[in-house]
Structure 1
C-alpha cells in the first residue's frame, strides 16, 4: 500500500504540520495591510503634505470592524472555504493593482484610489480573519497561537522586504521598488491557497471540522467572555494609538540625515515588526498569567503611549537609543499580550463555543484596532506629527 502524502496526526495531539499551515494562513491574510503601511517613502512621494499611513490605518480598521459586525449579526455556522478563498483572491487582485495608483495625475484621484483599495482589502481581510480564527479554535492547542505567530511574521517580512526592495534601487526609483514590493506581496498571498488546500486534505481537518459541533454566536456566550474580550480590545488599541503613525513620525536625533531618506522610519518599523514576532512566540510561556490575571500586564503597557508621543515630539526623550527601547517594549508587549489575551479567552468556554468565540475574538481585535487608530488619528492632528 502506498504511503500517505500528508501527515495523519491524531486530532487529540498538537501537530507541527498543521501549526505550520495555520502560521502560513496567518502570515498571508494580514500581509496586504502591512504592505500598505510599510512604504512610507512611497506614500510621501505621492502625498507630500499628508501622513497617509494614518488614513490607511483608520480606513482599514473602520471597514474591518463594520464588516465583522455584520458577519457576527448575520450569525450561522461559518463557511470556511468560501470565505477564505474569496478573501485571498480579492487581496491578490488589489495588491496587483496598487502600483497603478502612481499613474493617476490628480492628487484627489490618488487619494480616492488608496481609500478604495484599503476598503476592499479590509473587507477581504474581515472574511479571512473571522474564518481563520474560527477554524483554528477547532484544532488542538497550538493552532491559534501559530495563527498569531504568522501574523507577526507577516509584519516582520513586510518590513524586511521593504528595506530590501528600497536598498536594491536608487532613491530616484521609489515607484519601481514599491511596484516590486507589492507584486511580491501578491505572490505571498496567492501562496496561501496552496496551504489551505493542503490543510483540507488532512484527516485531522475533517475530524476537527465535523466532530466538533459548532454553535452560532449568542448573547449568552458574550456574558461569559466580555471581560476577556475587552482586554483583547484594550491590548490592540494601546498599540495602534502609536503604530504606525506616531512611531513612523519619531525623528532620529543623532543621525538627522536618516530622516530625509526615510531610513529611520523604516528602521523603527522593522524593529517593531521583529520584536512583535518575539512577543508572539514568547506567548507560549504564560508566566503564571491566567484569564483572571492577564489584565495587569495589559494595563501596565498603557504607560508606553505617552512616552512614545514624547519621543515623537522631541520632548524630554531625545535620544535614538531611548526611541528604539520604547519601540521594542511596545512591540514585544503587543505580540505577547495580544496573543495571550486571545488564547486565554478560549479557557472561558466549552468546545462547542470555540468557533463562535474565535469569530468574536477577531471582532474584538479589530475593535481595538479601530479605537486605537481613531485616537492616534486625533492625536496626530492635535499634536501635529
Structure 2
C-alpha cells in the first residue's frame, strides 16, 4: 500500500496542493495565447493592413478545432501524459519563437513577419487542442473541485496578462519602441512560465497522493489514458478514507454516441456561450471601439474588464447555493445571452464608454459562470473512461463555438473601410 496516498486522504494538504497546481496549469493553458492577444495593439501597429486581431484568432481556432476533431475521436487510446506535455512544450517553444522572430526582424513589419506570427498562432492552437482537452478529460476523472480550479486558472491567465499589459503600456508609453518592449517582456514571461508548467505536470502533479488515488481508481474502471501518469507518480490504488476523496458511482458503459444523446443540451449550452462570447471578443473591441476619453487605453480596459469578470464568474459556483444546476436553466440562460449582440451594437454606436464597460463585465461574468456550472456538473455518475470522453467532447463544442464566433466576428467589419 502506498502510504503517501493514505496520508493525502487523511490530510487536506494533498488536496490543496493539487488545487494550486491545477490553477497554475490552467493559467499555462492560455497564457501564451492571451499574451499574443493582449499585445494585439503592437501587431496592429506593425501590420495595419492585415487585421491581425481577426486573422491570428481565426488561424488559432482553426488549428485548435481541427486537431481536436482527431484527438476527440482517439481520446480513449491516447497517452494523456504525452498529450499534455506536448501541448505545454509547444506553448513554451512558441512563446520563445515569438521572441526570436521579433529580435531577428528588429521589430519590423511586413508580410514575412506576419506569416511567422500566423504560424506561431497555429502552433498555439495545436497546443490548446492537446492541453485543454487532455486536462479537462483527465480532471473529469477526479473531482469537480480540481476542474473548477483549472477553469479558474484559464480565466486568471487573461486577468494577469491584462494587468501586465496595462502596466507595460504605462511604463513604456505608446511609442513603437515602447510597444515592442512590452511585447518582448510578455513573451519572455510566457516562455518561462510555460516551461514551469511542463515541469509541474511532469514531476509534481503526478506525485500528489490524492491525484495518484484518483488515477488508480480510474484505471480500475477501465481508463487507459492515465497509466503513464500513474506510473510516473509511482502510485497504487487504495480505498478512500474521508470526504476529501469522492468515491465514484458505477453505472453502465456508454459510448460517445450515447454520451452525446444524454448530454446534447450541455454541449449546445457551451457552444452557444462561446459563439456569443467570441463573436464580440476580441475582434469587436479592436474594430468598433470608436473614440472615447480613454483614448488608446479603451480597448485594453475593455479586455481587462472582460478577463476579470470572467475570473469572478468562475469562482461564484464555489458557493453551492449560487451554482446553477438545472440543465434547462443553463441552456435558456446561454441562449438569452444572444441579446447582448444588439446591445453591443447599439452601445457601440450611441452609448458611452461606461455602458460598454458594463456590458463587457456582463459578457465576461456570464461566460465564466456558465462554463464552470456546465463542466463541473456534466461528468457526475459516469465511469472514468466516460468522464474522459465527455470532457473531451465538451471541449470540442467549446472550441467549435469559439471558431464559429471568431468567424462571425468578421461581420462587425461589414460596411467599414477595409
* Range moving further from structure 2, 279-288 or 192-201: 279-288
Pairing 1:234–2:237 present: no
Q: What does the per-residue CA deviation read over 1:342-372, in whole Å, with 9 as the maximum and x for residues that have no partner?
A: 2232247444411111111111110110011
| Counterpart position of 1:276 | 310
Write the distance in 2 (CA, Å) between the matches of 1:214 and 1:108. Answer: 50
Deviations 1:177-203 (A, max 9, x none): 211111111112112123322111122
Confirm or deny: 8 A CA contact 2:91 2:127 kept in the other structure.
yes
Which of 166, 177, 180 pairs up with 2:182? Answer: 177
Q: Which residue of 2 aligns with 1:295?
A: 331
1:114 aligns with 2:148: no
Q: Which residue of 2 aligns with 1:195?
A: 200
1:1-385 alignment runs, 5 A limit = 8-9=8-9, 15-102=15-102, 103-104=104-105, 107-172=110-175, 173=177, 174-196=179-201, 197-212=203-218, 213-214=221-222, 218-251=256-289, 253-255=291-293, 258-259=294-295, 262-285=296-319, 286-312=322-348, 314=349, 316-317=350-351, 319-347=352-380, 349-381=382-414
| CA displacement at 1:293 relative to structure 2 | 2.2
1:265-321 Cα deviation digits (max 9, x unpaired) = 111111111111011111334445322321121111111122113333x2x32x111
Contact 2:5 2:212 in 1 (8 A): no
CA deviations 1:133-172 (Å, max 9, x no partner) are: 0111111230111111000001101111111222222333
Is the 2:265–2:331 contact (alpha carbons within 8 Å) kept by the matching residues of 1? no
| 1:229 Cα deviation from its structure 2 partner | 0.9
Size of the alignment, in residue pairs? 376
Distance 1:215 1:163, change over 3 A: same
Report the 3-state secondary structure (helix = DSSP H, G, I; strand = E; otherwise coil) of the residue aligned with 1:289: coil
Partners in 2 of 1:4 and 1:13 — Cα distance?
12
Q: Is the 8 A contact 1:134 1:357 kept in 2?
A: yes
- 2:238 aligns with none
The CA distance in 2 between the partners of 1:200 and 1:352, in whole Å, is 18
Q: Deviations over 1:197-242 (max 9, x none)?
A: 2111122222211222255963222222222111111111110000
- What is the Cα deviation at residue 10 of structure 1? 5.7
Q: Which sections of structure 2, spanning at least 5 residues, go unmatched?
A: 225-254
Say what the alpha-carbon RMSD is for the aligned residues.
2.6
Q: CA deviation at 1:378?
A: 3.3
TM-score w.r.t. structure 2 length? 0.83
Q: CA, structure 1 residues 140+287, in 2 after alignment: closer, same or farther (shift >3 Å)?
A: closer
Q: Secondary structure at the match of 2:48?
A: coil
Q: Which residue of 1 aligns with 2:230?
A: none
Do the aligned partners of residues 170 and 12 (structure 1) sit closer, same or farther apart at CA in structure 2, a change above 3 Å counting?
closer
Q: State the distance in 2 between where 1:306 and 1:14 align.
A: 47
2: CA distance between counterparts of 1:18 and 1:361? 23
